[in-house]
Structure 1
Amino acid sequence: MKARITILLADDEHLIRGALAALLRLEDDFDVVADVADGAEALRAAQQHSPTVCILDLEMPPTDGVDTAQRIVSSVDTRILMVTRHARPGVLRRTLSAGVSGFLPKSTPSEKLAQVVRDIAAGKRYVDPEIAASALSGSACPLSDRELDVLRESAQQTTLADAAAALHLAPGTVRNYVSSVLAKLHVSTRQEAVQRAWDEGWI
């Protein structure tokens, strides 16, 4: 008898999550052990169930699917399949470095999704060809890891002081990082820098 593949599904869009869970449950060798709405719930459910495969939405609160994937793979022996409506160019590099095993658009037919889940469960990796092509066409990120950390916090915090507190840095240090980012990206405001980094998939 073929071993069953246990699946955790995380997506903040309830209708999509419900439809996807229903489709996956039609497969004889799949068992959806949990479906949750955000990254924090996904981490808890992964630790509780130790699923074979976690299917995570890329754009998912409270941070994003990449951060959630990183937290899950650091604490649970599982494989991660990331799904998204729109793959921004630099996102693929971030997901692969976070330990993600597969990347698919949400428009993928259910038969293909099922096969990719099985492949990933067997230890293989899969990246949708169009997503891979988009990643290759994207521009290289000119920012350091610390500058990217500052931009991520800037996207979530109201003020630079709040971002500095979250990063355990002095406000002046954060201002220096922001100034460097603005110069590198040739933009004039922090908001423009955050938007550019988001559009490129760097954060």
Structure 2
Amino acid sequence: MKIIIAEDQGLLRGAISRLLGMEADIDVVGEAGNGKKALALIQEANPDIAVLDIEMPYYSGLEVAEHLQNINHPCKVAIVTTFARTGYLQKAIQAGVQGYLLKETPVADLAEALRQIHQGQRIFSPQLTFSSLKEHNPLTEREIEIIQCLQAGESVREISQTLFLSQGTIRNYISEIMQKLEAKNRIDAVAIAEEKGWLS
């Protein structure tokens, strides 16, 4: 099984690469420090799996995954990240990734997960799948529209013009949103919805 590793922290990248390279059936054919180089490497080396960090210069791991999905590239993607965020997990699933694991995963478990991904399975960190089940989006489509307007900096008056609803109705919706999200104010409500990936 051929893999490439893309991670912007050089020490961590080198450590993962060395440890995975010690597995008899895993061949690390390239390393990249950013998303741009990762894409170029995938095109050149045609690995079976790309192990990608999420936050990297140029392109994030999710953007690399989306690009591979758009061009129907056969390379499978395993995201390995410190971010146990449900929003990221949802975006990763939309981008067609086959694995989403946390960096605290022991290398032996990571190697085993890569073998299962290579065989066509999808592997997600248990901590993440539990939190994603727990954190379903409580907002209605209309409430999401209103938060997106708040996110864009629109006032109640502007939102009422955009959505053709009275200002009183908009205020009621905002009050309901803040209650559902247990937000202190409108800015906090937008931040919570963004953090959980409920606005995309």
TM-score, L = length of structure 2:
0.72
Q: Deviation digits for residues 98-122 of structure 1, max 9, x if unmatched?
A: 1100111111111111111111111
Counterpart-to-counterpart distance in 2, 1:111 and 1:102 = 15
Match of 1:62 in 2: 58
Give 1:10 shift.
Answer: 0.7
Match of 2:135 in 1: 138
Give 1:40 shift.
Answer: 1.4
Give the counterpart of 1:81 among 68, 78, 93: 78
Match of 2:41 in 1: 45
Contact 2:6–2:38 (8 Å) recurs in 1 = yes
- Percent identity at matched positions? 31
Alignment of 1:160-199 (within 5 A): 188-189=186-187, 193=190, 195-199=191-195
Give the SS at the match of 2:100. Answer: strand
The yes-or-no answer on 1:118 pairing with 2:115 is yes
Q: Deviation digits for residues 92-143 of structure 1, max 9, x if unmatched?
A: 2211111100111111111111111111111111111111001112241749
Counterpart-to-counterpart distance in 2, 1:129 and 1:138 = 14
Unaligned runs of 5+ in 1: 161-171
Counterpart-to-counterpart distance in 1, 2:133 and 2:70 = 27
Unaligned runs of 5+ in 2: 164-169, 179-184
**CA, structure 1 residues 74+85, in 2 after alignment: closer, same or farther (shift >3 Å)?**
same
Alignment of 1:142-161 (within 5 A): 142=139
Counterpart-to-counterpart distance in 2, 1:132 and 1:39 = 26
Q: Deviation digits for residues 172-196 of structure 1, max 9, x if unmatched?
A: 9xxx69xx9xx5965545x973x43
Give 1:72 shift.
Answer: 2.1
Give the SS at the match of 2:4. Answer: strand
Contact 1:91–1:135 (8 Å) recurs in 2 = no
Match of 1:17 in 2: 13
TM-score, L = length of structure 1:
0.71
Give the SS at the match of 1:55. Answer: strand
Match of 1:29 in 2: 25
Contact 1:6–1:30 (8 Å) recurs in 2 = yes
Shift >6 Å, 4+ stretches: none
Q: Deviation digits for residues 50-97 of structure 1, max 9, x if unmatched?
A: 110010112223342212211123332111111111211222221111
Query: Which of 1 and 2 has greater Rg?
Result: 2
Give the counterpart of 2:98 among 92, 97, 101: 101
Cα RMSD over matched residues?
Answer: 3.2
Contact 1:46–1:72 (8 Å) recurs in 2 = no
Aligned length: 173
The residue identity in structure 1 corresponding to 2:53 is: D
